[in-house]
Structure 1
Amino acid sequence: MPDNPQALPGQAFALPGQRLIALEGRDAAAFAQAQFMNDVKGLADGHWQWSGWLTPKGRVIALFALLRLSDQRIWLAVPDADAAALVEALKRFVFRSKVAIELREDRVIEGRFGAPEQAAGAAVAGDAEDSLEIDMSGDGAARALRIVPAAQAAAADAALAAQWALADLRHGLPRLPASQAEQWTPQQLSLDRLRGYSVKKGCYPGQEIVARTHFLGKAKRGLALFAGPAPVEAGAEVRGESAALGTVAASASDGTTHLALAVLPLERADGAASIDAQPAQEIPLLDGLAR
């Protein structure tokens, strides 16, 4: 395992826990448009966007990168949710739609620090029958995510995977553990920063809550990024000088750097903060990961 992961910008490595779900069939795009929170209809073939699946009350069940390969082939790169359970839950809404939903065990998701070889912005590069690449670069670093046949998978590297998770948090991508599923609305997770949901498309689960919050200006909380001296767990309380401020929704650590994304009031007084009785320094979120 390398001592300095960033010294190997060309090295591909497995992203543990990230899984691929495929929606395929005549109604794949229509099904995704009806179920997911971003506008699949407005997404061009060969492009990707951030998206997610919500409860009827507008809480995020899962976040993912949605790749529209064609109107008959939609792939979801799912970083944190239980992908097998997600497949079974989605199948309950197929009804008469001509779409097959499958966990693709024959594909592996891996990452690489450094400029993508071919992908750029929201354009997907490669061949679905072989390997695909998407550009995960932001203001903090150039990165590429690859979907490859399992037989070609890169080795796992815990240090590099931890660096990847830290980069996600720095750019405001919440890496939600199971304890935080169905807890937060897209606005509370500041997913507008990633252009991760739509308030103008047609109906989808939770759409009424999302649109009402947007158009009535009722979003009162959003994400803030903190660095601390030790790891913290999602669900931990963030406290100000005299009162609770909010809750950690996602956290990551590489043994040296410890970051937490917390849902806090958008309007709050300046002052010292702590998480689990440890000092926590708020730091700016990076831009550039919106697609």
Structure 2
Amino acid sequence: MPFKEPLPDNSCPILPGFSLLELEGPQAAAFAQAQFSNDVSALEPEHWHWSAWLTPKGRVIALFALLRLGEDRLWLVLPDHPAESLAAALQRYVFRSRVLLRPRPDLVAAVGPAEPGEVPDLIVGEPGSGIALDMGAPDLPRCLLVLPAAHPALAAPDTGAEGAWLAADLALGFPRLDPRREEAWTPQMLSLERLGAYSLRKGCYPGQEIVARTHYLGQAKRGLVRLAGEGLAAGRALEPAGAVVCALADGSQALAVTALESPAPSLEGRQLQRLPLLDGLRRPR
């Protein structure tokens, strides 16, 4: 997925709802290592992985792509959680750490040319002029661009492009978290092991004890499934037990948390169909 400049003018639709938070300073990586679910110490500069910030009870507050631009500079690309809100919440834990939390409203996420990369977790491009992230899979290639807000390649948000991105998220098993349902799910409920979004070997981080206990005691009875049907919407309860995490605007597909070993659930008496989840979104693969 080479980052080819110049991109054609007005060719990359903006993705609404994305924001970016920068962590910079001599202790930026150490701060991220202590707060986030994945192993930042194992992440090499110019590479990225999925990660999350959890409550002490192991519930997911935010799920994001964590980019290591250098030894002391990280970016969090947040699909659903405002960077300003996350920065304010994280600031309470900075104490004397030499790290600056800086929301970056001058940067915009957009849909780029879908060209599979040989190294899917590589950050392609330069932070000052724009970067590309391979957020696809072999069977579903796609590219996320992070560009300066004044970049000529940016185009106005497009409902078709936005809907296609969300549909790909559902197919790949990437849960989009409704702000009204934050802190509702553990990483195992959201099947974040499919993304490699949490570590069982690194040191402590908020919620780590719950995550490890759930894993090693085999207590993960519920997980993420992809469903097809009618009337699916975030927050809707499923029978006999479960709830929709996120859904397409037309209600025809969704990701839901439900019992992994039970038959397909139903919604208001209507049987739903289970669809397969595509592999390949894990970073690094």
Q: Does 1:245 align with 2:241?
A: yes
Residue 114 of structure 1 is matched in structure 2 by: 114
Q: Give a deviation string over 1:191-244, Cα, whole Å, max 9, x none.
A: 0011110011000000000011111111111011001234x22111112xxxx2
Contact 1:110 1:145 in 2 (8 A): yes
Identity %: 49
2:253 aligns with 259
3-state SS of paired residue (1:218) = coil
Query: Cα gap change, 1:82/1:105 in structure 2, threshold over 3 Å: closer, same or farther?
Result: closer
Q: How many residues align?
A: 272
Pairwise CA distance, 1:59: 0.1
Unmatched tracts of structure 2, length 5 or more = 1-9
| Structure 1 residue 154, shift from structure 2 partner | 2.7
- Give the 3 Å change call, closer, same or farther, for CA 276–12 of structure 1 in structure 2: farther
2:171 aligns with 170
Paired position in structure 1 for 2:182: 181
| Distance of 2:101 and 2:139 partners within structure 1 | 34
Tell me, in whole angstroms, the C-alpha distance in 1 between the residues paired with 2:219 and 2:178. 26
2:3 maps to what in 1? none
CA distance in 1, matches of 2:278, 2:88: 35
TM-score normalised to structure 2 length: 0.91
Which residue in the other structure is 2:5 paired with? none
Residue 179 of structure 1 contacts residue 234 of structure 1 at CA under 8 Å; is this kept in 2?
no
Residues 98-247 of structure 1: matches in 2 within 5 Å? 98-112=98-112, 114-115=114-115, 120-152=119-151, 153-230=154-231, 232-239=232-239, 244-247=240-243
Q: Secondary structure at the match of 2:241?
A: strand
1:249 is aligned with what amino acid? V
Quote the residue 1:22 is aligned against. Answer: 22
Moved runs in structure 1, 4+ residues, more than 3 A?
A: 276-279
| 1:238 partner SS | coil
Residues 191 and 104 of structure 1: CA distance in aligned 2, closer, same or farther (over 3 Å)? same
Q: Which amino acid aligns with 1:222?
A: G
Can you list the C-alpha shifts for 1:118-142, whole angstroms capped at 9, x where unaligned?
6741111111111111101114411
Task: Give yes or no for contact 1:15–1:161 (8 Å, CA) kept in 2.
Answer: yes
TM norm structure 1? 0.89
Partner deviation per Cα, 1:61-98 (whole Å, 9 max, x = no partner): 00000001112110000001132211100111111011
Report if aligned partners of 1:194, 1:289 keep a CA contact under 8 Å in 2.
yes
User: Is the Cα contact below 8 Å between 1:27 and 1:71 reproduced in 2?
Assistant: no
Which residue number in structure 2 is paired with residue 281 of structure 1? 273
Structure-2 separation of matches of 1:278 and 1:103: 44
CA distance in 1, matches of 2:73, 2:118: 19
Hey, what does 2:12 align to over in structure 1?
12
Query: Could you tell me whether the CA contact under 8 Å between 1:125 and 1:133 is conserved in 2?
Result: yes
SS class of match (2:29): helix
Gap regions ≥5 residues in structure 1: 1-9
